Amino acid sequence: IFFSDIVGFTDISAKQPPAQVMEMLDRLYGKFDRLTKKHNLFKVETIGDAYMAVGNLHMPQGDHAVRVAMFAMDAIQAAKSTPVSEQKPDLGTIQIRVGFHTGPVVASVVGTTNPRYCLFGDTVNTASRMESTSEANCIHLSDKAADAMNSVKHSITILYRGYNDIKGKGEMHTFWIQGYHGESNIASVGGESSKRTLTSAFMEIPSFQRLRSRATWQGDSNKSPRSLDTFAVESNTSRATSD
């Protein structure tokens, strides 16, 4: 499940009349709608400045997590090419934050007035938290989403963000997509900025234990623990054998 929202949307809304805010969202989400068709994903809904889409729902898609990741990368580029206001170019272009998570949901229409097709389940909440704890122009994903990506062959590099306190979910191992990443809080994972300590911590992540052969260290272990030195999962290999 993919979620995005617009960085600074409250300020943007304060600087423009409602009609121009609506027009901005229409321009942006028209692009997103076309991208869902490109990646064969299902658009669920927009809620204010939030956009929600999902894979593996309207048809079986074994590579659904990779599709969502690729959609997310395209969505960020589409946003960065979309002016906040065509009348006020000084406002710049749109920036979004993105998050996604993989898990079970139920899809249904509830109620009788203005019915809408919705998704229900804790997976939706977790995906939303991945988005809200992301950063501008970054793609933040859970360990389950990263594991789902690495169950199929692809060429996207996944960077380990750290062991983070996610509101309403507790502490979670989370990840970035390389090229769309923020700071990595690796100090909270191993406690020391050393390859040996962090490798040990990384390998304790349950959903990644079967991917040990693909775990590689990136960066200089002598740098600060707050630097972006982290793990990458070599993802351009065939599926690992399941436990």
Write down the pLDDT at residue 38.
Answer: 97
- Per residue in 37-72, pLDDT (tens digit) is 999 999 999 999 999 999 999 999 999 999 999 999
The whole-angstrom separation of Cα 180 and Cα 137 is 6
- Per residue in 172-225, pLDDT (tens digit) is 999 999 888 776 554 333 223 323 333 444 444 444 444 433 443 343 333 333
Is it the case that residue 124 has pLDDT exceeding 90? yes
Is it the case that residue 13 has pLDDT exceeding 50? yes
- Per residue in 71-122, pLDDT (tens digit) is 999 999 999 999 999 998 999 999 999 999 999 999 999 999 998 899 999 9
Q: Measured in whole angstroms, how far is the alpha carbon of residue 135 from the centre of its chain?
A: 10
- Written as one string, the DSSP assignment of 10-60 is HHHHHHS-HHHHHHHHHHHHHHHHHHHHHHT-EEEEEETTEEEEESSSSS-
Higher pLDDT, 149 or 241: 149
Is it the case that residue 18 has pLDDT exceeding 70? yes
Is it the case that residue 153 has pLDDT exceeding 80? yes
Query: 119: which residues sit within 8 A by CB, 6+ positions away?
Result: 1, 44, 52, 54, 57, 105, 106, 107
The lowest-confidence range among 39-43, 98-102, 153-157, 238-242 is 238-242
Mean pLDDT, residues 145-166 taken together: 92
Is it the case that residue 237 has pLDDT exceeding 70? no
Write down the pLDDT at residue 183.
Answer: 67
Q: Please, which pLDDT band fits residue 234 given cuts at 50, 70 and 90? A: very low
Mean pLDDT, residues 16-20 taken together: 94
The whole-angstrom separation of Cα 150 and Cα 154 is 8
- Written as one string, the DSSP assignment of 144-183 is HHHHHHTTS-----EEEEEEEEETTTEEEEEEEETTB---
